[in-house]
Structure 1
Amino acid sequence: MNNLKKKLGLALALTLSTATFATAYATSEPETAQTADVHVNSIRNDESTSDRIEKYKEMAMYYYWHGGDIKQAEEEIFKGITLKGKYDVVENAFKAASSLDPYDLDLKFSLASTQIIQKKTAEALETYNQILNLDPNHFNANLLYGVYSKVNGDHASYKKAISKLKQIDAKKANEYLQKLETTESIIKEKLNTSAPSNLPQKDHAIVILGYALADDGSMREPLIERLKAGLAIAKQYPNSKIIVTGGVPKKGITEADAMSSWLISQGIEKDRIILENKSTDTVENALFTTEKLVKDGIRDVTLVTSASHMRRALTVFKEASDFYDKMTGESSERNFTNVVYLDYPSIEEAHEVSKDEIFVICRDLFRTSGIWQYPDLQR
């Protein structure tokens, strides 16, 4: 920990103290031009290789969360490379770090993850292939290379990867095949625009997923629409608990805080509402909420989110629930139903699943299963 603080301090010493940066990072507030400049100006070739690698990793994670001065990064660090957005900075930071240490497979894995985020499938598959050339028994790289190849239409590479996974660890390979089979079933599930009529009257919770707040802390339309859908179910099932989940603060207000206040203003009793206000994305929504489901003995869950988000949400909540069952040694047999805010022109269009959506669903399934997209840095 002391070494990490020292390295972070070096990266920020020019214009910002480590304490100031830690506060900005923890609260996820919009960055200023000053904080963006820190990451660009702090990497110099007269520093040790390890320090430069750490600073590239720190730059990558900072831009992953906050964005920054793209033009300055383009002109001062990644000369000759046109950057189109914050993930370009993340990608090129990991490329630079990997060039400094081509033996570090975690850096290559992080690079591939960023390429997947940007829908650069061919580039990501090539990066995974580099990892496998160096370590043919790398379980996670084989898994992701195989599954993403299949989504991309390359079934031969998928079959080859699965065969290799079974050689490496047959039990673990079969567990992932079961997860993928479950996910395929979820993708085919019907999306409901209103609550089913037969939901349990006991040990049931309505889980409303958050959506990023505006910079002033106000709720955007998708979040308000999700809340309206959740409120309708809450009125129909007055004995059900309501869990609001989302932790990224804006102006000191988390999504869960804002959601709770809105529900209370609509007549929902405060003691019905459970706040999950630590999560930063869908995967953490699922993991942190499931912990609360276990604690409260809740067996049945109705997820509420946008139609475009529901299949991914169901996938990660099912995976998180299975993980907690495994960890606690219990079989909750937790049942998930769904109600969506329809953010498509029609329900028929909502049921059409694109290749891009399947990529994102698989990515978050793997993250929920314990495979960090940025090893040791970010789930």
Structure 2
Amino acid sequence: MSVAAERVAFIGWNPFQLLHFLRLIRALPGSVFVLEDRGSNLEMFPHDLLHASSFEILIANKEMMEDLDRRFDVIVCQTPFHGIDLINDAKIVMVQYGYAKSAHNYGAWRSLADLTLVYGDVAAQHISRFCPVDVIGCHRFDDWRDEEWRADAVQRHKSALDRGKPILLYAPTWGELSSSDRYLDSLLTLRTDFTLIVKIHHNVGDQLRLPDDVIRCGREDDLFSLMSVCDALVSDYSGAIFDAVLCRVPTILLDMPTDCLVGNKTEKGSLEVGRREELGLRIASPTDLSSARLQEAFDDPMHLLARSDRVRSELFYTGHATERFITALTEISSERRDRPEYQIYVRNEVRERLAAQRALRQTRRELKAKLRDLRSRSITLPFRIRGL
């Protein structure tokens, strides 16, 4: 028995998540993408991405989330969504979206899933502590091997190809681990020898200023599509590193000072730190970033790619992930998987914490409303309410 597509929902709140799910949604005609309304996040989505879609998009605020439990049998997500702890009947299936920042990626929130679909054995080993897992591979690699998809990507980015220079795709991460403040000026000096595409992280706004001859790509632009036309990826500690390893795109790694790595969802055990030498050509500082240095990646790309062969084989199953995804959804919708008691315990603890956080937010909203009412009536309180 196959899964009923109309009873499957994919949920996300930013364009990266929708782009990540596109192939899977299209493989299940009749399935729905639930766009979680968090307020200003709706402005992230370009008109074409939402209104030219061949599938239903349901915009849902947090008050509507509990209704998903009645409408759908399976809810597919990357990470927890508002009200995930209120889902009791529908199966929650998480799909791995990357390998970076292991302290976060392998956190206890994984226990909320009835099943997590992962890229390979390394992720399975870590996440199976919290929930059942199936190794399916990365479905975006199915796109990568699709000749029609690649032809469309080339056509979409034809302007970069027409410049006649090697193409560097710069895809930094966000927050304190981002290399943009430290390295961007040095990168811009390479424009005489390279075409530079800057892919801004989906968690970063539009504040990054770039010269007119730099091709700027934002949240709505697909990293895999951009990688298909570039000659090398330049990144720091972003999950884009592992996408490039999977697709065998030569990778240049911009190192950051050690103190930046502390307390930023990464650790020595994170692959982008612990196995950095295997992932690409390392650049130690902005003064080390030059056309001559990068030429090493272009003179012998196969040697550079060979560095990452071992880690690639450990991280990724490279069969057809989309087919495995549909099989996994069919099985989870019709079968019950027994879980160890410790997994159920952790899941209940996480759910209780989420419920407590939601109740606290509601209490704060009510207190703020009462405080506004008191102020509107010109009543002065003899004390200050902290945080309101």
Shorter-chain TM-score range: 0.3 to 0.5
TM-score by length of 2: 0.37
TM-score by length of 1: 0.38
